[in-house]
Chain A
Amino acid sequence: EAQVTQNPRYLITVTGKKLTVTCSQNMNHEYMSWYRQDPGLGLRQIYYSMNVEVTDKGDVPEGYKVSRKEKRNFPLILESPSPNQTSLYFCASSPRLAGISKTQYFGPGTRLLVL
């Protein structure tokens, strides 16, 4: 089954404790992206990647890191989480998001609470 998986789905942590949210897709998609969703603000793009070792900042990259060492995986790293990073996070992938664009597939979401 074609899917985007995220882990963990729910996470409660404390300020400053490094964490990683994993994202994996099994569709051989080039484009992967992370978004955060906050009430009243819609979704905002954090980072995106067109291919292995090629990443770029979205609109809200501060406090986040990503890596794309393999095509299928795109982990989101919070080196020192703060309460303002409490949010619902979505990973997504698509065949590409440039030129001839296709449908983007979203993961189930990770709800993060930083105390």
Chain B
Amino acid sequence: DARVTQTPRDKVTEMGQEVTMRCQPILGHNTVFWYRQTMMQGLELLAYFRNRAPLDDSGMPKDRFSAEMPDATLATLKIQPSEPRDSAVYFCASGRDDNEQFFGPGTRLTVL
């Protein structure tokens, strides 16, 4: 049963610290998405990649967030420095060109 995996599942950190979230997409999927979920804003698209190339990161605060795909089996989302307003659940999803996206379980980030 192929699934998207995300690590860590929970992260508590202090303001100013670097946070790295990792995602392993489903094997064979060529598109990876990062979403953020908060009570106030709901689910928002942060960035996505196709064939490891960044396509759109307009939803991401550029000064502190960065997203990369070092290889086809790993996507990372980094926040440096983290701030309390970054507290949210971060979801990774993967898919192919048919637009059906499969979501991981999420990383719950708490910045104190």
A, B: real partners: no
Interface residues of A (CB under 8 A from B): none
Interface residues of B (CB under 8 A from A): none
